[in-house]
Amino acid sequence: MDSPNVILCPTDFSECSLNAIEYAARIGERYGSTLILIHVANREDYFKLNPLSNEADYQLAFLKEKLSNLQQTVRNESIPKGLKECHVLICDGDIVKELIKASEETKAQLLVMGTEGMNELRKNIIGSRTSRIVEKSKVDVLVVPRKVFYKQPRKLVFGTDYREEDKVAIQKIVEFAKFFDAEIDIVHASEGKNKLEKPLHQVMIEELKPFIKYDRVNFVLKSFRDDLALGLENYLQSAKGDMLITLSRQQDFFNKIFTKSVSKKMSYFITKPLWVIKNF
């Protein structure tokens, strides 16, 4: 990632968002970042947190206290390990609009957010909250599924169809990998009918190599008879990858993974964080 000085992490205090906070804090420790925890307040979330309350009891103070407790926990655990600082924000309104607005106002370089499982992200890439944030964000987004607890990444899987953008993006991925001494699999993934021949694959590798100053990189050529999404998911599992990475600028490739029909099939399988690179 591009040395994120500011990481923004939304929370609704659920297990899902707490996992995302841990990822955000751990990444922030490596980069010496400032982490901002943001809660977009609404009555529905409040009553989930405080079901014995009634409407007259709705108080912002309750949410501020919970957010302050989270902030203090992060400060105690992560500042000694390299995190620069942890701040909090509370706002009110539509979570997608407010989060995009906050990312711009805080000049965040990375959004880290939880989702109730990749079902929520992929069942409709345009309609769900998480997917709309991925779509509208101008900065990188790391999506952490609910059941995924923090684990130091040992292998990153970068799914691509080789474009010029890769030459810049791979440098960002390498920088991140170096912090964890992680291996990188650059997987050229294609559907069977669009299979890339090995000689051309080798030419593409030679073009990419000058941009990679890291010796723990593997170039993989994979052609999947099934959908790209399922193929990448299967590869992620078989290769024991810890994170799937893709570029949103590679629209054709990205859309093949995240179309509604494909995503519905893939949504039941993926159990790893997804890093969508939006900016170089």
pLDDT in tens, 59-78: 777 788 889 999 999 999 99
Q: What pLDDT is stored for residue 222 in this prediction?
A: 82
- Give which of 96, 109, 146 is closest to 28, Cα–Cα: 109
Q: Which distant-in-sequence residues (6+ apart) come within 8 Å of 105 by Cβ?
A: none
pLDDT digits (tens, 9 = 90+) for 100-148: 999 999 999 999 998 764 444 444 333 367 778 888 899 999 988 877 8
Ranking 86-95, 98-107, 247-256 by mean pLDDT, the lowest is 247-256
How far is Cα 134 from Cα 154, in angstroms, rounded to an integer? 25
Query: Where are the alpha helices (H) located in 90-216, listed in sequence order?
Result: 95-105, 118-122, 129-136, 166-180, 198-208
Q: What is the DSSP letter of 79?
A: G
Residue 237: phi and psi, rounded to 5, are -75, -45
The whole-chain average pLDDT of the chain stands at: 81
Ranking 4-8, 21-25, 52-56, 183-187 by mean pLDDT, the lowest is 52-56
Indicate if the pLDDT at residue 260 is higher than 50: no
Report the relative pairing of strands 110-115 and 85-92 from DSSP bridges.
unpaired
